[in-house]
Amino acid sequence: MSTQKRFNTLKWAVVFTVLFTVVTVNAFSGGQGESSKAQDKNNSVREITVASIADPAVGLPEVEAAINKITVPRINTRVKFLPIESGAYSQQISLMMASGEKIDLVRGTSFGTVSFSVMHAQHQLMDITDLLPKYAPDLIRTVTEIIPDFLEGTRVNGRIHSVSGFFNKVNSDYFLGRADILDKHNIDIYGVKGLDDVGNILGVLKRNEPNQVPIVTYQRDASALILEGGSFYDDFSNPVHFDTLGDSANRLAVVFLSNPENVVNLYKTDNYRKMLERVHDWYKKGYVYKDALINTEIQEILVRNNIGITWTASSEIGVEVAKEERTGYKIRAVKAAPGMITTTTMTRIFWGVPVHSKEPEAALKFLNLMYTDPDINNLLAWGIEGRDYEVKSDGTVGFPAGITSSNAPYHSMDFRWGNQFITKVWTGNPPDLREQARKENQNASSSPLLGFSFDTAPIQNEIAMLSNIISQYRPGLESGTIDPAQGLPAFIKALDGGGAEKVIAEIQKQLNAWKSTKK
Amino acid sequence: MKRSIKKTLLTPLNLMVIPGMLYLLINNYIPMAGVLIAFKRINYSKGIFLSDWIGLENFKYLFSTRDAFIITRNTLLYNMVFILMSTILGLMVGIFLSEIISRTGKKIYQTLILLPQLFSTIIIAYIVVGFLSNESGFINKTLLGPDNAINFYSAPVYWPFILTIVYLWKGLGYNSIIYFSAVVSVDRNLYEAATVDGVGRFKQIFYVTIPSIKPTIITLFLISVGRIFYSDFGLFYQIPMNSGVLYNVTNTIDTYVYRSLLQLNNIAMASAASAYQALVGFIIIITVNEIIRKLDRDNAMF
């Protein structure tokens, strides 16, 4: 009887194992059989799926239909859009990539698992160096007309795997504040020459506006003075620029433009120490939001809710109008440091074809249209004319009567899609905004390191450790909460213990190799 | 003989097990194949099965850091305190509940202590902020006043207590309900007999209630011990609002892994961490079960 029982158990175990293996193998290798079917309909209309960050909109089907009315006759392709909310985007896309779901064109962003360096390190994107000139020649012509180095920003080891989104690439650093409060105390923000002046303004606000915080910060940057843009601007007329080499999150290894040969540890520089001392001084004087360490709201929200008066931000031109829309108050802004075109700004938004896509040709043809056709761009950004937007007398577009951003069937943003420069200007902005932006981009200086982004593969363990150390020490220091006299040496010691020097040396090695291929 | 086994397998009660088994198979057994990801360098263009094997490379970052000690210590100590406190307090509350005679009273208390369990951790995090924040917190504004204000989110000393209190407040109700249901299923005759023998209320708890529900206590204890290497991510990440200054007392294995891989998105390294946790949990559960079996054979789980 006991052998009988054991045999039965064994039988079940075998059945389960077989079942288990079959199911898993199927789950992991899904969709192998579909390729042959695709061959049959060589001449029929191609179908591609485009994944992008967008809020779900009830009016999407009509927009999609209108776009297909253009794409089917012109490039024989039907486009299906897959909008994913920004909060879930990173996770959704990496899951879809891992399981090989149908996506033919994917938008990458600057953060998390869909960032440029991650997608490249894991070979998620197809090499389109040779396909691009063949299927998207107009795209190349359009982008290089405004920024000659455009394609260099996303070229790694000579190969192109993605194309940067075509929108205003110049993000300058600004110091901003609420116009009504500044006027009340006769503060001329346009006369600010540097951070010493900013300190004086904060002092006046602290004395006269006891119920509001003079300057607010955001936990993710947790810093009042140093921004993604990459510059220290103690003196607004003479900012010190550095290039974060595509890693704006950790920004450990940077290259100062005054010394473009050497990779240095940003946290060990004098500029950084001085910046920390200044914010800590501000914190002690009560200028800085005391809950900065735990605040998860962006500055605009704090200003909108009467918590803060001033803040700093990295933004494109038209900053006063844009921020007024977001805060509900009239805003004045003074430029602290002009923006520069770097790998970081070029990889903030990019489009690529996933390696498992079966329609790279159709995807690139559509990308070509998205960068060159105004109708497609207006549809994607603002929806259907008459329903979602109407053209105003000055040539800008806005909501028709009775429609707002909360009840519009479809309303997106102009920088989220192909070509911002040929998309109509949203109302409230100067009608010649695109002209201004075009000029700003044409005149902007590019970093000499544009196009260099490092390969994290040899230093993964170090980056894992350093990410923890940086998120442990940096917010406390950069929000001014922690005294840099003790905090900074402890931070630097922890970084060295976590392998910062090895990372710097590795990136220096990669940079030298990259430079030698450029010459 | 064979026929009788077939018969017992196909009884309605046994058939009812099938959906549960399928759930376990799909959600708990099939994903186990994913453990091989922990030993590979994932390359999306090759796919999971064809990616290169790299041995234990992915496990390195867990041990090569000076934080390895801190995160292991935090995970273990917090979980030990949590298991101990929630067993003792849960048992206490469960017994108290069973002693309440009024039916409505019982329902009201049950609901009240179970309620925090239903809150999302994010909401609890903001309730805690409501107490502890610098700008508007109840403790700093109302109790301590501006001169004695404490910047809680940059003062690590308070956090072991805050986290324990929050954990118990949130989780106690759930535990106590399980104990409560075990207590009410104890044979009433035992209590009557004890009363006849002149045993007081308090002594009844120690001599009747606890021995009768010992298997439940041990099962719950073993289950929680098996997860001693996992930490409640929401509790350790959201409640301290991810404040870096507090990492020495709030960083656990799960939060460490999350923060490490936020920038890298290396699924292989993440799998390595969870494989490591599962392995250690497995070893601990076997060991503890072995000890219990040595002490008291009948109460061991297997």
- Please write the tens of the pLDDT for every residue from A430-483: 889 899 999 888 888 888 888 887 888 888 888 888 988 998 898 889 888 899
Highest-pLDDT range among A222-226, B5-9, B200-204: B200-204
> How does pLDDT run across A173-195, given as a tens digit for each residue?
999 999 999 999 999 999 999 99
Tell me the pLDDT tens digit for each residue of A53-95.
Answer: 887 788 999 999 999 999 999 999 999 999 998 878 888 888 8
Identify the burial level of A404 via C-beta atoms within 10 angstroms of its C-beta, where 0-12 means exposed, 13-18 middle and 19 or more buried. exposed
Distance CA B14, CA B7 (A): 10
User: Cα separations (Å) of A378 from A411, A413, A421, A422?
Assistant: 10, 10, 11, 8
Rounded CA separation B247/B155 (Å): 10
Q: Is A211 on the interface with B (CB under 8 A)?
A: no
pLDDT greater than 70 at residue B253:
yes
- Estimate to the nearest angstrom the gap between the alpha carbon of A515 and the chain centroid: 26
Percent pLDDT > 70 in chain A is: 89
For A309, phi then psi, to 5°, come to -115, -45
Full-model pTM: 0.79
| pLDDT tens-digit map of A11-47 | 555 555 555 555 444 444 444 444 444 444 456 889 9
Segment B102-150, tens digit of pLDDT: 889 988 998 898 999 999 999 999 999 999 998 888 998 888 887 888 8
pLDDT at res. A519: 63
Work out whether strand A46-53 and strand A105-108 pair parallel, antiparallel, or are unpaired.
parallel
B68 CB near a chain A CB, below 8 Å?
A: no
Among the listed residues A370, A395, A399, A373, the one whose alpha carbon sits nearest the alpha carbon of residue A384: A399
Element holding A369 (H helix, E strand): helix A360-372
List Cα–Cα distances, B255 to A181, A311, B235, B238, B267, in angstroms.
42, 30, 10, 10, 15
Best mutation target among B59, B65, B252 (most A Cβ atoms within 10 Å) is B65
Span B205-247, pLDDT tens digits: 888 999 999 888 988 888 888 888 889 999 999 999 888 889 9
Residue B144 confidence (pLDDT) = 86
Instruction: Please say if the pLDDT value at position B203 is more than 50.
Output: yes
Residue type, B98: S
Residue A331 above 70 pLDDT?
Answer: yes
The reply to whether A24 touches chain B by the CB within 8 Å rule is yes
Kindly report the three-state secondary structure assignment for every residue of B147-178: CCCCCHHHCHHHHHHHHHHHHHHHHHHHHHHH
User: Across chain B, what does the average pLDDT equal?
Assistant: 87
CA distance B168 to chain A (A): 23
Residue B252: band (very low, low, confident or very high) from pLDDT cuts 50, 70, 90: very high
pLDDT of A494 above 90: yes
With an 8 Å Cβ cutoff, are A471 and B2 in contact?
Answer: no
Is-contact A197 A191, C-beta < 8 A? yes
Q: How far apart are CA A227 and CA A242, in angstroms?
A: 11
pLDDT at A342: 86
Q: Distance between CA A513 and CA A386 in Å, rounded?
A: 55
Chain A nearest CA to B190, separation (Å) = 39
**Which comes out higher in pLDDT, residue A490 or A154?**
A490
CB A150 within 8 A of CB A164: yes
**Cβ of A4 under 8 Å from any chain B Cβ?**
yes
Hey, are the CB atoms on B153 and A293 less than 8 Å from each other?
A: yes
pLDDT on residue A86 = 80
pLDDT of residue A220: 61
CA–CA min distance A337, chain B (Å): 27
Task: Tell me the average pLDDT across A127-133.
Answer: 93
Q: Are A466 and A500 in contact (CB under 8 A)?
A: yes
Residues in a beta bridge with A51: A82, A106
Q: What is the pLDDT of residue A28?
A: 47
- Give the Cα separation of A202 and A467 in Å (integer): 32
Measured in angstroms, the CA of A284 and the nearest CA of chain B are apart by 13
Mean pLDDT of chain A: 85
User: What pLDDT is recorded for position A224?
Assistant: 56
Helix axes A460-478, B253-261, angle to 10 degrees: 100
How many angstroms separate the CA atoms of A225 and A195, rounded? 9
Q: What is the DSSP letter of A288?
A: B
Higher pLDDT, A25 or A311: A311
Greater confidence (A394 vs A222) lies with A394
Q: B-chain residues within 8 Å CB-CB of A496?
A: none
Whether A122 and B242 lie within 8 Å, measured CB to CB: no
Distances (CA, A) of A207 to A185, A286, B243: 11, 10, 29
Angle at A364 between CA A363 and CA A366, to 5 degrees: 65
**Separation between Cα atoms, residue B174 and residue A511, nearest integer Å:** 56
> Which of A457, A465, A456 has its CA nearest to residue B65?
A465
Longest dimension (CA), chain A: 97
Task: Using DSSP, state whether A313 is helix, strand or coil.
Answer: strand
Name which of A336, A335, A331 is nearest A428 in CA terms: A331
Assess whether pLDDT exceeds 90 at residue A245. Answer: no
CB contact under 8 A, B44 and A291: no
The per-residue pLDDT for range B141-194, each reduced to its tens digit, is 888 887 888 889 989 999 999 999 999 999 888 889 899 999 988 988 988 899
Q: What letter would DSSP give residue B59?
A: G
Q: What is the pLDDT of residues B16-69, one digit of tens each?
A: 888 999 999 999 899 888 888 899 888 877 877 888 898 888 888 888 777 788
Give dist(CA B70, CA B88) in Å, integer: 27
And the tokens for B284?
A: 């601990």
pLDDT at A120 over 60: yes
Q: Which residues, listed in sequence order, are joined to residue A235 by a DSSP beta bridge?
A: A194
Q: Are A91 and A113 a contacting pair, CB within 8 Å?
A: yes
CB contact under 8 A, A293 and B245: yes
Residue A207 has pLDDT above 50, yes or no: yes
Cα A351 to Cα A379: distance, rounded to the nearest angstrom:
18
Query: How far is the alpha carbon of A178 from chain B, nearest alpha carbon, in Å?
Result: 21
Q: Chain A residues with CB inside 8 Å of B151's CB?
A: 290, 481
Calpha distance B26→A26 (Å, rounded): 13
Mean pLDDT in residue range A395-405: 88
Contact (Cβ atoms closer than 8 angstroms) between residue A476 and residue A482? yes
User: Would an 8 Å CB–CB cutoff place B42 in contact with chain A?
Assistant: yes
According to the model, what pLDDT value does residue B297 have?
Answer: 80
Q: C-alpha distances in angstroms, B96 versus A187, B93, B207? A: 66, 5, 16
Asked if A54 and A87 count as a contact pair (C-beta separation under 8 A), the reply is: no
Rounded mean pLDDT, A249-269: 91
For the stretch A385-394, pLDDT in tens is: 999 999 998 8
The C-alpha angle with vertex A382 and arms to A376 and A385, in degrees rounded to 5, equals 85
Lookup: tokens for A482: 């922690």
* pLDDT recorded at residue B6: 65
- Decide if A464 and B129 are in contact by the 8 Å CB cutoff: no
Return the pLDDT at A414: 86
For residues B115-140, one letter each, b for 16 or more C-beta atoms within 10 angstroms of the residue's C-beta and e for the rest, the string is ebeeeebeebbeebbeebbbeebeeb
The ipTM, to two decimals, is 0.77
Comparing CB atoms, the residue among A24, A247, A356 nearest residue B33 is: A24
CB of A16 less than 8 A from some CB of B: yes
**Cβ pair A116, A249 in contact under 8 A:** no
Q: Residue A16: what pLDDT?
A: 53
Q: Does pLDDT of A2 surpass 80?
A: no
Residues 295-354 of A with CB under 8 A from B: 296, 307
**What pLDDT score does A39 carry?**
45
| Phi, psi angles (nearest 5°) of residue A163 | -120, 130
Give the per-residue pLDDT at A33: 40
Q: Which of residues 78-117 of B touch A (CB under 8 A)?
A: none
